[in-house]
Amino acid sequence: MEKQAEKEFVKEITNMEEDFPRWYTDVILKAELVDYSSIKGCMVIRPYGYEIWERIQAVLDRMFKETGHKNVYFPLFIPESLLNKEKEHVEGFAPEVAWVTMGGSEKLEERLCVRPTSETLFSTMYAKWVGSWRDLPMLYNQWCNVVRWEKTTRPFLRTSEFLWQEGHTVHETQEESQEETIRMLNIYAEFAEKYLAIPVIKGKKTEKEKFAGAVSTYTIEAMMHDGKALQSGTSHNFGQNFSVPFDIKFQNREGKLEYCWQTSWGVSTRLIGAIIMVHGDNRGLVLPPRIAPLQVIMVPVAQHKPGVLDVCREVLDKLKKNYRVQMDERDNYSVGWKFNEWEMKGVPIRLEIGPKDIEKNQAVLVRRDTGEKTFVSLERIEEEVGSLLEQIQDNLFQKALKNREERTQSATNMEEFISKLEKKQGFIRALWCGKQECEETIKEKTGATARCIPFEQEETGGKCVCCGEQAQCEVIFARAY
């Protein structure tokens, strides 16, 4: 049975260069991150996948609290009358909304929407809670699930139900709300780069691509291994678009009533999809050490021989003080099987100790990102592991950055745009006149959408890539997930 199991396990996953979407599906299933549920478009997040989400939650939650935000929890259901208060918002979400019409055996007097997002609920409560400028700002966040009835789904990237955090804040002035919007975007960018080892581009969404109900939407855009973009976090300035219809007023410093200024921002389990698609390879997952559930997996070699497990446990106790480490001492699988399994699961470092290593007072460290082996003294094992984890974290970021740079091109006209995108999928930097017709034409002809107007404009003067008229700004276009 064991040999048959090994044979099944080490079957090659689909080559990522041949069929990237199939590779992605193979990896998330074989690495036991998720499984498909009996409900169409919904996923079951398995323990290993949920541990990654817990790590993401823990770090972001700390970052939010360090900037003065507090956690709350709001209901899952939104009355239809509330959703209808902000016209642009309801129109934007209407096609994706799931409705509850029955309570037990009785028809509800008013339909309830299963939350696709919670702006309306927060706004209702802010109208009750805000009285004076002294109450402001209110900086709240909630960790929850949302439902959007998606037609095409893919685990982590787009599912009918997903987990996320949504921040909702109210402010005294327009300037404060804008500062909050950019502050939170910067937190997302710092988190993506420092913890997920994913380089991102910060920018503003076009009017066509902005969040329904926002004055302006800002985004961090990441490039996946195959050159497609993934929107990895958004921050929205609502201005007074919700405070006016929801009557969120406060007494200002002069004693007069005025409307509040609001923001909203969020990231979701989509970030796990980003980690997989940016860092993974044909052996499976490759997890950045700072977010990996396990940083080190210890695999005893010839563990049945005297003394091997004893030494391994001593090393394990040392490492547990500072690192997330586990020992695989299962005796019903071969060492080769274990190597394959933990490679598939993307653990940054494999630590091997066998009888010959014990004789030499050493351990073998194997990097998941490069496969490189290092022999280290058991006396220096803690320092060496720490150093290696930092090297792996940095290498993953640099590798992803190199891929993005190599797949980022510029185009000055549509012929060049189409040609370059077909030869090498990636980001196309191009000047744009600001007209929605040109944005739509580019999408129709190439399948690429305007990902963002980057804060860092490399080229400003010139002609629109589509119509040839005077350009307003540089935009990053890409096909996207």
Q: What are the DSSP calls for 114-156, one per residue? A: EPS--HHHHHHHHHHH--BGGG--EEEEEEEEEE---SS-BTT
Kindly report the pTM of this predicted structure: 0.94
| Confidence at residue 53, expressed as pLDDT on a 0 to 100 scale | 98
pLDDT of 94 reads 78
Q: Are 335 and 353 in contact (CB under 8 A)?
A: no
429 vs 424: CA distance, rounded Å: 13
Give 10-residue mean pLDDT values along the chain (481 residues). 45 89 96 94 96 98 98 96 79 85 95 94 97 98 95 92 98 98 98 98 97 95 98 98 96 97 98 98 97 98 90 96 96 93 97 95 97 96 98 98 98 97 97 97 98 92 95 97 95
Q: What is the pLDDT of residue 7?
A: 45
50, 61 in Cβ contact below 8 A? no
Q: What is the spatial distance between Cα 198 and Cα 216, in angstroms, rounded to a whole number?
A: 24
Whether 435 contacts 471, CB under 8 Å: no
Task: Give residues with Cβ within 8 angstroms of 167, minimum separation 6.
Answer: 64, 69, 139, 140, 141, 184, 263, 264, 265, 266
CA distances from 368 to 6, 54, 133, 371, 388 (A): 20, 22, 53, 5, 11
Amino acid at 351: L
> What ranges in 195-307 are assigned the alpha helix state H?
270-279
Sequential DSSP letters for 368-433: TTT--EEEEEGGGHHHHHHHHHHHHHHHHHHHHHHHHHHTEEE-SSHHHHHHHHHHS-SEEEEEE-
What domains sit in the chain, N to C, each tagged with a CATH number? 31-279 (3.30.930.10), 296-403 (3.40.50.800), 408-478 (3.30.110.30)
Q: CB-based burial of residue 437 (10 Å sphere; 0-12 exposed, 13-18 middle, 19+ buried)?
A: exposed
Q: pLDDT at position 130, please?
A: 98
Residues 27, 284 contacting (CB under 8 angstroms): yes
Strands 161-171 and 138-147: antiparallel
> Using CA atoms, how far apart are residues 287 and 301, in angstroms rounded to an integer?
24
Task: Identify the bridge partners of residue 261 per DSSP, sorted by sequence position.
Answer: 171
Q: Where are the alpha helices (DSSP H) in 32-118?
A: 47-66, 80-83, 87-93
